[in-house]
Amino acid sequence: MEDQIAYRMNTDGTKLTQLPVLPDSNVTRSTFVWSPDSTHIARIDQYLEKPDEQQIYLLDADGRLLNQAKNRGSSGNPWVLWSPDSTRLAYYQQESPNAPFTEGNIYLLHIKGGKSKNLTQQQDIYSGFSWSPDSQQIALVKTKQGVKLDLINVDGSGLSNLTPRFSAIFNPTWSADGQQIAFTGSEQSPSPKKNGPVFNLYVMNRDGSGLKQLSDDRDLSVTNFVWQP
pLDDT digits (tens, 9 = 90+) for 56-101: 999 999 999 999 998 876 666 778 999 999 999 999 988 766 655 5
Domain chopping of the chain, boundaries: 7-161
| Superfamily (CATH H level) for 7-161 | YVTN repeat-like/Quinoprotein amine dehydrogenase (2.130.10.10)
pTM here is: 0.88
Half-sphere exposure of 20 (CA within 13 A, CB side): 13
* Residues near 13 by beta carbon (within 8 Å), at least 6 away in sequence: none
Looking at residue 160, the DSSP 8-state letter turns out to be E
pLDDT digits (tens, 9 = 90+) for 21-66: 776 667 778 899 999 999 999 999 888 777 778 899 999 999 999 9
Half-sphere exposure of 47 (CA within 13 A, CB side): 14
Q: How far apart are CA 164 and CA 93, in angstroms?
A: 25
